[in-house]
Amino acid sequence: MVEFRNVTKRYSNGTVALKNINLKIDKGEFVFVIGPSGSGKSTLLKLIMKEETPTEGDVFVNGYEVSAMDMYDVPYLRRSLGIVFQDFRLLPNKTVYENVAFAMQITEALPKEIRRQVPMALALVGLSKKANAYPAQLSGGEQQRVALARALVNNPPLLIADEPTGNLDPETSMEIMRLLCEINHRGTTVIVATHEKSIVDMLKKRVVALDKGVLARDQQKGIYTNEDKNSQIYS
Amino acid sequence: MKIRTAKYIVKEGILNVYKNKLMSLASIGIIIASLLLFGIFLLIVLNLDHNTRALESIPQLEVFCNYNLDETLVGDVEQAIREDERISEYRMVTKKEAFNKLKEKFEGNEDILEGYDESFLPVSFIIKLKDPRDSNEIKEKFENMSKVESVECPQRSIELISKASSWIKVISGILIAILLVISIFIISNTIKLTVFARRKEISIMKYIGATDWFIRWPFIVEGVIIGIIGAVVALILSGYGYRALELRLGNDIVSVSMGFFEMLKFRDVVLVLVLFYSFLGAVVGAIGSVVALRKHLRV
Ligand SMILES: Nc1ncnc2c1ncn2[C@@H]1O[C@H](COP(=O)(O)OP(=O)(O)OP(=O)(O)O)[C@@H](O)[C@H]1O
Ligand SMILES: [Mg+2]
């Protein structure tokens, strides 16, 4: 589903954000990407959605060879991804319903399909009642759920979230993470970059830890802190 | 592209024009100004072309007798023409004919001629030469006859006008090119402001998988609407301006009776203006939008 082969990313200013990363994520997995600030988590996700291109190595996503992809194909790659950000990124002048419907509109979906899928996505995130509200009228947690509904409405096989709970209080964060787990249970592969130690520790999912651009740990049913008592890197 | 997508694009484009009223007005103003300048050059060129062609169909010389000559004195002039071996043929234009011709020119507003009759017009002779190189000498010869008022020599006007019109064509071509570039630049800058205001929206659209054209089209529609509105206003203004000029020049009996310059009727040029204005307005608007968006689509 997602594969990194010897991937190095050097930004134009010389910063090396990722060093020789090898990583394979299979269909149906739930993966936390963790690491201190500046360790390269966002860069890793940006390589998946082709916002950045690797300096060396290859990236494969949903059957696309993303690293060698033509610019014209990027929109179609992104339609096969659901993307969620820390700052929600909703269109302020569209209602909740319109925001979600818009993701289908740009794929030229049939109006009939849109009318069927959008309420389903809103129901999944528990926001059916707020369909006609504008983003400014919603709480942060609700806005992030709208963003999730939008990410899911086209039924993408892969969902990518970069610190989806970064702007939310712990309780709301937990709700969003539960929602991500439920989405994962329905068969969607989920990759989440996060700093939420307590949640990572509680959910016991696969953990990919980055440190200064190096893949420091890749552990099934991992927790936030390295269990190796001799090297307490992240505490 | 599906029809529903086209609908979305047109709706979005119209909304953009409306939402950015101030910017749209500024852009429309700029388009009007450039189109008007362009229109002035176009109308001059069209009129010059028309007159060169009209003059080319006129015989080489026309000798006008004094308007108060009686028939025997006119006969003297005719005889002088007949006897000149350098003249291949000639035709007399009677006062009546001249008056009818004048009436033709004023078709539609004959009332201008009310109170006049043919008596104030001169008898003239249209003469063709065997060799056009003689035209200067013959002109001089007849001008020196006391019974002759003047000798018109369209040949010269033709040369003058066609020389002038080819220069004017070159100059206006260059000016039009410069105007186009300037207006594209200004339009793209105004649209850039609306693009800048919506850059977040554009980047969100890119993240959820919108193609560049899906994002671009509404802005192009916006630019084209601005261009077309500008074209319509420019057309109305040019129409009024041309009419006013037409009336001033057209009412001037002297300039018309000299047959020197004939203005095209507005209805003859209106189609050309409509085509040029709407095409240029739309193209300038569309290119302006595409230029404005270039940077913001790279996400
Ligand atoms: N566009 C860019 N140009 C240059 N350097 C960049 C760019 N984006 C990121 N970097 C650098 O690359 C490194 C990794 O950044 P990245 O955003 O991937 O970190 P991160 O793990 O997501 O951090 P955080 O937890 O703070 O979000 C950092 O040193 C950062 O300064
Ligand atoms: Mg980050």
Express each pLDDT in B157-186 by its tens digit: 666 766 777 787 888 788 888 888 888 888
Q: Check pLDDT > 70 for residue B253.
A: no
CB A10 within 8 A of CB A16: yes
Q: Where are the domains of chain B?
A: 3-55+158-296, 61-152
Instruction: Tell whether B201 lies on the interface with A, counting CB pairs under 8 A.
Output: yes
Which of residues A2 and B295 earns the better pLDDT score?
Answer: A2
Q: Which residue has the higher pLDDT, A227 or B75?
A: B75
Say if B3 is an interface residue toward chain A (CB within 8 Å): no
Tell me whether B11 touches chain A (CB under 8 Å).
no
Q: Chain A residue with minimal CA distance to B200?
A: A89
| Cβ–Cβ gap A78/B208 under 8 Å | yes
Residue A18: both structure tokens together: 């990722």
Which chain B residues contact residue A91 at CB under 8 A?
201, 204
Say what the pLDDT of residue B154 is: 66
For residue A75, the CA-to-ligand 2 centroid distance in Å is 22
pLDDT tier for residue B56 given thresholds of 50, 70 and 90: low
Q: Indicate the residue type of A17.
A: A
pLDDT tens-digit profile of B192-236?
877 888 888 899 999 999 999 999 999 899 889 999 999 999 999
Query: Mean pLDDT score of chain A, rounded to an integer?
Result: 92
Distant-in-sequence contacts of A216-224, Cβ < 8 A, 24+ apart: A216/A35, A218/A23, A222/A32, A224/A34, A224/A197, A224/A200
A93's tokens: 């002048």
* C-beta separation of A143 from A90 below 8 A: yes
pLDDT interval class at A22 (50, 70, 90): very high
Identity (one letter) of the amino acid at B202?
Answer: I
Give, for A190, the enclosing helix (H) or strand (E).
strand A189-193
**Mean pLDDT in chain B?**
82
Whether residues B8 and A107 touch (CB distance < 8 A) is answered with no
A67-99 per-position pLDDT tens digit:
889 989 999 999 999 999 999 999 998 999 999
Determine how β-strand A158-162 pairs with β-strand A81-85: parallel
Contacts of B211 in chain A (CB under 8 A): 72, 75, 106
Distance between first and last Cα of chain B: 23
* B264 pLDDT above the threshold of 60: yes
Ligand 1 center from residue B198 Cα (angstroms)? 25
Pick the CATH number of B61-152 from 3.40.605.10, 3.30.70.3040, 1.10.10.10, 3.30.70.260: 3.30.70.3040
Q: Which helix (H) or strand (E) holds B232?
A: helix B212-250
Measured from CB, residues less than 6 Å from any atom of ligand 1 are: A 11, 13, 15, 17, 35, 37-43
User: In this structure, what are the phi and psi dihedrals at residue B220, rounded to the nearest 5 degrees?
Assistant: -65, -45
In this model, does residue B52 exceed pLDDT 90? no
Q: For a pocket test of ligand 1, which of A41, A45, A47, A210 has the largest count of ligand atoms closer than 8 A to its C-beta?
A: A41
Query: Quick count: other Cβ atoms within 10 Å of Cβ A28?
Result: 14
CA distance A89 to chain B (A): 6
Which residue type does A222 have? Answer: G
User: Given a cut of 90, is residue B17 above it in pLDDT?
Assistant: no
pLDDT at A205: 94
Q: For residue A52, give the ligand 1 atom closest to its CA.
A: 1
Mutate to test the interface with B, among A80, A94, A98, A105 (most CBs of B within 10 A): A105
pLDDT digits (tens, 9 = 90+) for A159-211: 999 999 999 999 999 999 999 999 999 999 999 999 998 999 999 999 999 99
Q: Is A115 on the interface with B (CB under 8 A)?
A: no
Amino acid found at B83: E
Distance from CA of B214 to the nearest CA of A (A): 7
Q: Which of A72, A79, A91 sits opposite B209 (nearest CB)?
A: A79
Q: In the structure encoding, which two tokens stand for residue B127, read together? A: 């003469």
pTM: 0.73
> What's the farthest any 2 CA atoms get from each other in chain A?
59
- Predicted confidence (pLDDT) at residue B250 exceeds the cutoff of 80: no
- Dist. CA A99–CA A164, nearest whole Å: 18
- Chain A: nearest CA to B204, how far in angstroms? 6
Q: How far is A41 from chain B (nearest CA, A)?
A: 18
- Chain B residues in contact with A78 (beta carbon < 8 A): 206-209
First to last CA, chain A: 31
SS3 A230: coil
State whether residue B4 sits within 8 Å of chain A by CB. Answer: yes
Residues of B in contact with A89 (CB under 8 A): 200, 203-204, 207
Asked if A53 has any chain B CB less than 8 Å from its own CB, the reply is no
The protein residue with its alpha carbon nearest to ligand 1, atom 28, reads A38
